[in-house]
Structure 1
Amino acid sequence: MTRSREAGARLTLDDVQIRFGDFVAVDGIDLAVDPGEFVCLLGPSGCGKSTLISAVAGFESTSKGTLHVGDSVVRGPSLDTGMVFQSSEALFDWLTIRKNIEYGPKMRGVTAAERRKISDRFLALVGLTHAADKLPAQLSGGMRQRAQIARVLANEPRVVLMDEPFGALDAQTRHVMQVELDRIWRESGCTVIFVTHDIDEAILLADRVLVMSAGPAARIKSSYSIDLPRPRDEASPEALEIHRRLRADIGEEVQKALAGQGLVTEEEVH
């Protein structure tokens, strides 16, 4: 199925600052994400990647600037955005996978018959039809993450935010999930913002990779368009060259972060 870019929303951040008391987490963030685009955020630990997407989700308030999803200003959580967390504990462990997926539509007043159609659709999309009546504890980590993705997509968000959703998975399961997410994204047409520390993961998934600077007052330092055919081969010469550039770029920010913690000297950074 060819993805419908109309399903996703344009995301716009204008001069966004997020602070906690006197601490400025991110500052001066200007970003425009096209409908249906897949963007990955990379950067050193503590640079504000998770804080930034939490603000897009409406969970954090901006101190300055504006956030728009489509034509709407973000003022709090909205059905236009959905969040997939790193931990699959976000699933309700007392509900079956089908009931987890149907939970959002049920809260919106969707009829039982229509909820069944919705859950059938998204169970099939993430390959969990056979596990519909199982509880989360009966599934593997990768299957639970697929269920979490299905639960988010069942609300038909226009922007899907993912905070290191595969970080806790083993390497083999993680690769399977990356391939599955690429397929699901192309079929759903959602706009995706994906936080990761894994350069190869970003290259495999993203249309564009954004590198954030070391905090505090982190900003978007650089942007890389990943114009490679899908499915991608991370061992191709083109992918390896992008990996080299990203590693060097992020490495500079990691060294600055370490210097800020007193773990290396400023001379070592330069």
Structure 2
Amino acid sequence: MAETVPPPISPPAIAALSLRGVRVAFGEFVAVDDVDLEIHPHEFLCLLGPSGCGKSTLLALMAGFAAPSAGTIEMGGEPITGPRPELGVVFQSSDALFDWLTVADNIAFGPRMRGMSKVDRAPVVAEHLRLVGLSGAADKRPPQLSGGMRQRVQIARVLANSPDIVLMDEPFGALDAQTRTVMQRELDRIWRERKNTVVFVTHDIDEALILSDRIAVMSAGPKAGIKSVYDVTLPRPRDEDSSSYVDLRHQIREDIAVEVEKSLGEQP
């Protein structure tokens, strides 16, 4: 049975992440221009748009991996000037895992680097193995796992560091369709349990609808920006056959189709 949608609440005065007038230029080429966006604490926001519109570029700026050419990016009102432990990043590829470590040791890596004792790490690892449904795979190594299982390990490793904000760059993009569907539902379950602030990059409309509280649609590049923002107030877990879901999907699909046509028109 679907969960009841809680009544809307006013966003807090200080956003979890705030982008104001963000611009990214490479010489005379302007990839992203004049982006204003606020991500509220504990919300799941998807950045959605056609390929090459700058979604991953914006996520890299939020992670502190790069600096904007102009504008500001703040976390809790403080400027982001580089990577921070409060910001966890889940990449599309699971190559970031350490193949020579077990699943349990991969998850324990962050807490160990922070100086947490082995005794204190044990319950943290056990909790995150449970959270991602891998308690029976603790002693396996990443090469022994399927793609979906490796991505679960990557998510658990990030969450074990207790980040305030989780940034996810198309983490299921390399998975087959069936596994991707399973992982979307698993991530929705994990988010409902933990309620981390999440920014999730995708070009898949259904993925965005299944996961997000809000969807920020980006315009086609160059000079890409935030074209429109949709509130997704559908009950969780989402019913893809409901009329509300279908109507919203159609609206967003039409919105993005305009941008795809623009991007194709820009190509020689």
Q: Deviations over 1:56-80 (max 9, x none)?
A: 0001111111111113210000011
Which one-letter code corresponds to 1:37 in the other structure?
A: E
Matched, 1:259 2:265: yes
Matched, 1:153 2:159: yes
In 1, the alpha carbon distance for the partners of 2:26 and 2:117 equals 42
SS at match of 1:26: strand
Post-superposition offset of 1:42: 0.9
Matched, 1:188 2:194: yes
In 2, the alpha carbon distance for the partners of 1:223 and 1:91 equals 34
Post-superposition offset of 1:95: 0.7
Residue of structure 2 equivalent to 1:53: 59
Q: Which of the numbers 9, 20, 24 marks the counterpart of 2:26?
A: 20
* TM-score after normalising by structure 1: 0.92
Task: Map 1:220-239; keep pairs closer than 5 Å.
Answer: 220-239=226-245
Residue of structure 1 equivalent to 2:169: 163
Residue of structure 1 equivalent to 2:74: 68
Which one-letter code corresponds to 1:95 in the other structure?
A: L
Which one-letter code corresponds to 1:133 in the other structure?
A: D
Residue of structure 2 equivalent to 1:98: 104
Matched, 1:137 2:152: no
In 1, the alpha carbon distance for the partners of 2:263 and 2:98 equals 37
Matched, 1:219 2:230: no
Residue of structure 1 equivalent to 2:215: 209
Which one-letter code corresponds to 1:147 in the other structure?
A: V
| Alignment gaps of 5+ in structure 2 | 1-10
Q: Deviations over 1:200-248 (max 9, x none)?
A: 1111111011110011111000011111001111121111111111111
SS at match of 1:181: helix
Which one-letter code corresponds to 2:187 in the other structure?
A: L
Query: RMSD value over aligned CA atoms?
Result: 1.4
In 2, the alpha carbon distance for the partners of 1:26 and 1:113 equals 47
In 2, the alpha carbon distance for the partners of 1:80 and 1:18 equals 24
In 1, the alpha carbon distance for the partners of 2:97 and 2:161 equals 15
Q: Which of the numbers 31, 34, 44 marks the counterpart of 2:37?
A: 31
Post-superposition offset of 1:10: 1.2
SS at match of 2:124: helix
Aligned-pair identity in percent equals 60
Which one-letter code corresponds to 2:133 in the other structure?
A: G
In 2, the alpha carbon distance for the partners of 1:135 and 1:21 equals 44
SS at match of 1:28: strand
* TM-score after normalising by structure 2: 0.93
Decide whether the 8 Å contact of 1:69 with 1:80 is kept in 2. Answer: no
Residue of structure 1 equivalent to 2:249: 243
Post-superposition offset of 1:118: 1.2
Matched, 1:42 2:45: no
**How many residue pairs were aligned?**
256
Post-superposition offset of 1:111: 1.0
In 1, the alpha carbon distance for the partners of 2:156 and 2:163 equals 11
Decide whether the 8 Å contact of 1:98 with 1:123 is kept in 2. Answer: yes
Residue of structure 2 equivalent to 1:178: 184
Post-superposition offset of 1:21: 2.6
In 1, the alpha carbon distance for the partners of 2:220 and 2:261 equals 9
The farther-off stretch of 19-28 and 115-124 is 19-28
Which one-letter code corresponds to 1:92 in the other structure?
A: F
Q: Deviations over 1:132-151 (max 9, x none)?
A: 11000111111110000000
Post-superposition offset of 1:181: 0.3
Which one-letter code corresponds to 2:120 in the other structure?
A: E
Q: Deviations over 1:94-120 (max 9, x none)?
A: 111111111111111111111112111
| Alignment gaps of 5+ in structure 1 | 263-270
Residue of structure 2 equivalent to 1:199: 205
In 2, the alpha carbon distance for the partners of 1:199 and 1:234 equals 12
